Amino acid sequence: MARDESRTEGGRQSREDAAARASIAVRPGEFQHRQHRKSEKVFELKGVGVRYSGVPAVKEIEMDVHRNDVTALIGPSGCGKSTLLRCLNRMNDLIPGAEVEGELLYHGENLYGPSVDPVQARKLIGMVFQKPNPFPKSIYDNIAFGPRILGRKENLDETVEQALKGAALWEEAKDRLDANAFGLSGGQQQRLCIARCIAVQPDTILMDEPCSALDPISTGKIEDLMIELKKQFSIVIVTHNMQQAARVSDRTAFLMVELDADEDNRWGRLVEYDDTEKIFTNPTDKRTEDYVSGKVG
Ligand code: ADP
């Protein structure tokens, strides 16, 4: 029988430790960027689920994503964070056998409605991946790629400069715009990918573990960048790094894997979604507390 640790001295101690650790993660005053938040909804998810070849990966997700927020999706591996993120710009359309159910509104309109062009949607809702994926081209051509495809060829130099400045890469790249992007460091390549994304003027940027392949200094730069970028864009980030979610996000969604009665089938469920400060300091659900305090992985 499972021991009720909360009744024991050790259990109480570990809960106190967890609370202390959580309060270290979110220090009041350190997160000025969370002030003056707007509440306009970019996405409204109503009973959203995804199946791969008929097998559910996430079920019944209910949450709203707000404009100019950084929204973090956290939870153990396999709980459906990336799957859920890909729903937000119809990237799951590209996976054979993937089906999205429920209702997903983007600025009040059905993102999966018949009149929505998924390619157009992906321009407005850009994506940055775990591993930086620059094209085998010059730094300049990487950034100019999207605007050129869209026929926005006027003031291209200005567009490239603004995108690189927006991604905090201009100073490092301005004297080597013709150099191959593969010559940049990993962290610089990831900022290049962010610059490439913002060059087509999206409204939202989705980031799937954008720092997991980066060193701590590069990670810090991307985190600072996110806080800067959210003034202009809405950002949804998948991260397995809870300190990162605590540092950069305004709202956090915690997902967990749920098993059916026979434990044959598993899928991701949203356990709790709230202001990041609440999730990390005073979550409503015990499972959230256990996860953010590191008691369960
Ligand atoms: P997380 O990002 O939380 O680690 P994922 O969204 O990657 O979780 O995966 C959720 C579930 O969906 C897992 O069971 C995974 O095996 C399954 N899954 C993810 N991508 C695919 C895919 N392309 N085809 C089939 N199953 C997938």
Q: Where are the domains positioned within the chain?
A: 31-292
Q: What is the pLDDT of residue 32?
A: 57
Q: Dihedral through CA 116, CA 269, CA 208, CA 152, nearest 10?
A: 10
Of 65, 114, 109, nearest to 85 (Cα)? Answer: 65
Token pair, residue 93, equals 């359309």
Q: CA angle at residue 69 from 60 to 196, to 5 degrees? A: 100
The CA-atom distances, in angstroms, between 134 and each of 49, 78, 192, 223 are 31, 27, 7, 20
Task: Quote the CA–CA distance of 42 and 37 in Å, as a whole number.
Answer: 13
Check if the beta carbon of residue 245 is closer than 8 Å to that of residue 74: yes
Q: Strands 234-238, 204-208: parallel, antiparallel or unpaired by DSSP?
A: parallel
Q: What is the pLDDT of residue 9?
A: 43
| DSSP code per residue over 171-216 | HHHTT-TTSBGGGS-HHHHHHHHHHHHHTT--SEEEEESTTTTS-H
CA 228 to centroid of ligand 1, rounded, Å: 31
Q: Tell me the per-residue pLDDT of 76-107, one tens digit each, with 9 for 90 and over.
A: 999 999 999 999 999 999 999 999 999 999 99
Mutate to test the pocket of ligand 1, among 48, 51, 52 (most ligand atoms within 8 A of CB): 52
The residue written with tokens 């119809």 in the block is 90
Q: Which atom of ligand 1 is closest in space to residue 50's alpha carbon?
A: 12
Q: Sort 93 into a burial class: Cβ within 10 Å, 0-12 / 13-18 / 19+.
A: middle
Question: Class assignment of domain 31-292?
Answer: alpha beta
- Positions in the chain whose pLDDT score sits under 50: 1-28
Q: What's the mean per-residue pLDDT of the chain?
A: 88
The CA-atom distances, in angstroms, between 127 and each of 61, 156, 234, 241 are 21, 22, 12, 19
* 295 Cβ contact list (under 8 Å, min separation 6): 14, 18, 289
Mutate to test the pocket of ligand 1, among 48, 77, 82, 83 (most ligand atoms within 8 A of CB): 83
Q: What is the pLDDT of residue 295?
A: 78
* 125 Cβ contact list (under 8 Å, min separation 6): 88, 89, 106, 202, 203, 204, 205, 206
Task: Quote the CA–CA distance of 18 and 288 in Å, as a whole number.
Answer: 12
- Check residue 138 and report its DSSP letter: B
pTM, 2 dp: 0.88
* 130 Cβ contact list (under 8 Å, min separation 6): 208, 209, 210, 212, 213
User: Which residue's alpha carbon is nearest to atom 25 within ligand 1?
Assistant: 52
Q: What is the pLDDT of residue 21?
A: 41
Region label for 53, one of left (φ > 0), alpha (ψ between -120 and 50) or beta (otherwise): left
**H-state helical runs in the chain:** 9-25, 81-87, 118-124, 139-149, 156-166, 170-173, 186-198, 216-229, 242-248, 276-281, 286-292
The CA-atom distances, in angstroms, between 36 and each of 67, 69, 237 are 12, 10, 20
CA 56 to centroid of ligand 1, rounded, Å: 10
User: Which residue's alpha carbon is nearest to atom 17 within ligand 1?
Assistant: 57
Q: What is the pLDDT of residue 13?
A: 44
